[in-house]
Chain A
């Protein structure tokens, strides 16, 4: 193998080794949920409209804005800005839910960049949003909707219903060679950015040399008091009058920023650096009101979400926590679809899925009062202590075992839910028997032909 081939192979094995799609999808959800919240909470629409009232003489479009709006000296009107804002919100919601994930994420990234670039086209710019904007584009180019998305669920439903049978799957363990590079790239950007921040503090230009003056304590005192007064942080002003605290904090800050890249070599150190970074940025906010919350949200790229879920799953298994057993009609398309949806959210593997066609003998021998016809008409679940729940109550019992669907479980536990719920369930089940089973029978006739 030549040197180039060796380097190419190393490059590929670093960036494109099979990685968890689940990790990527959780990051997508965390990052987009944060960014949507940020847009609304900080009244970006209000800010855009406020800027649109400023005189043209103050408008100095950033090069990226000129690239996005390539008309000479074009300044977007308030209407265009409003449309862009709402486009960002809609695209953000779609990419959060994973509806047309790639397109919606790209639109979300573009509209966010346009909004931010416009806001910074009046002679003033800040840093907190920059990494988030790059990260949005990087995520848009990755298979971030590979799992935990409406697209993926729909794809599974379509393929399993076509195959007319249920087969076990686990979204938490699913891997792809294209799932890792985007998270790694954002991690690298973090390392470069922190290193850049550290270097600007400890490198002096003209002549280029290292200096430790930034850690003299007075520097941090200066910033704490200045920002504390400017932005109304009494804590900042108070801490700024404690020289030893400022001296120690500045040493910790430089150590953190200059060594953050070590996490790339030893990923387990993320358990030290990520809490430290969260404390670092929260502290900066409390004392200096510098809002780098994007960084805390983006730290999700360092968290091995799939491993965490699998550890919890193993914990339940080790504790011998009894599972809930759902019986489904393996010949009913709607039932298969329902099982796919339940399995999709069953990250901790708390449910056993049993096909009535193969498990009926076991169920009927333990519960002779249950009829096969009734089982086919309504969902039946066997609780760990042996009791059976049917229909709406079975559905409610299942929800209790799926943490992600707890909000729905809460709704099902509201007063009157026990009265209304069974009626709604019955209505859905009735529709199912009219359409889905008929369609299945139709398939049977077709296959006989």
Chain B
């Protein structure tokens, strides 16, 4: 291959690669641009939010700011049995990890999503041979101070009677 041919060939190959470079950088930059977008005013606010462009994501993990006295929330999901006793329902009881449990089960209870709740209850009953009569979601928070954490007042966030849910 002569030098001229080689230069032309290099130019030809560099074009599609340049396009790839620009596309990859633009996707990553666009994912972030949404953050700086004036809400509901410009074109960038119409871009889908994470994980719409997965694997191009924004990285806002751990970005929320906290202050002294803020509460570290700890959700506990309790199942009420027919003999009035209580069992703690853990993620592994439903074949899930922590995050799937939080983002599906806990979310369904908070939002009172009866269809989803019914599915999880059925799954739990089938695998544990127990009959649930109700669910109770509690928060057992910890209060942040300068050099320690102390337990806060537990609160009941949601109490669901499953018979009522069935009727619904």
Contacts and interface: CB of A to CB of B under 8 A. Distances in A.
Interface string A203-231: 10110100101101011011101100110
Interface string A114-128: 001100101111110
Contacts of B13: 178
B56 A134 contact: yes
Nearest to B52: A63
A130 B57 contact: yes
B147 A241 contact: yes
Contacts of A126: 99
A342 interface: no
Contacts of A229: 72, 74, 142
Given A55-B119, A63-B52, A219-B65, A192 B72 contact: no
Interface in A31-78: 50, 53-55, 57-58, 62-64
Nearest to B31: A196
B142 A64 contact: no
B59 A200 contact: yes
A64 B62 CA distance: 25
Interface stretch (A11-19, A323-331, A364-372, A422-430): A11-19
Given A126-B99, A200-B58, A221 B35 contact: no
Nearest to A221: B144
A47 to B, nearest CB: 9
Interface stretch (A96-104, A181-189, A263-271): A181-189
Contacts of B18: 11, 15
- Say whether chain A's binding surface is mostly helix, strand, loop, or mixed: helix
B66 interface: yes
A176 B17 CA distance: 14
B70 A222 contact: yes
B148 interface: yes
B28 interface: yes
A62 B144 CA distance: 37
B35 A123 contact: no
Contacts of A391: none
Contacts of B56: 130, 134
A57 B119 contact: yes
Nearest to A136: B55
Contacts of A16: 10, 14, 17
A259 to B, nearest CB: 16
**B14, B70, B115: which has the most chain A beta carbons within 10 Å?**
B14
B58 A185 contact: no
B32 A199 contact: yes
B149 A225 contact: yes
B104 A214 contact: no
Given A15-B17, A125-B51, A178-B17, A200 B60 contact: yes
Interface in B138-167: 142, 144, 146-149
A117 B52 CA distance: 11
Given A122-B104, A133-B55, A134-B55, A181 B21 contact: yes
A410 interface: no
A211 B51 CA distance: 26
A3 B18 CA distance: 18
Interface of B: 10, 13-14, 17-18, 20-21, 24-25, 28-29, 31-32, 35-36, 39, 48, 50-68, 70, 72, 74, 95-96, 98-100, 102-104, 107, 115-116, 119, 123, 142, 144, 146-149
16 contacts: A16-B10, A63-B54, A122-B100, A123-B107, A125-B51, A126-B99, A129-B55, A130-B56, A133-B55, A134-B28, A141-B17, A197-B59, A208-B36, A214-B63, A223-B62, A225-B72
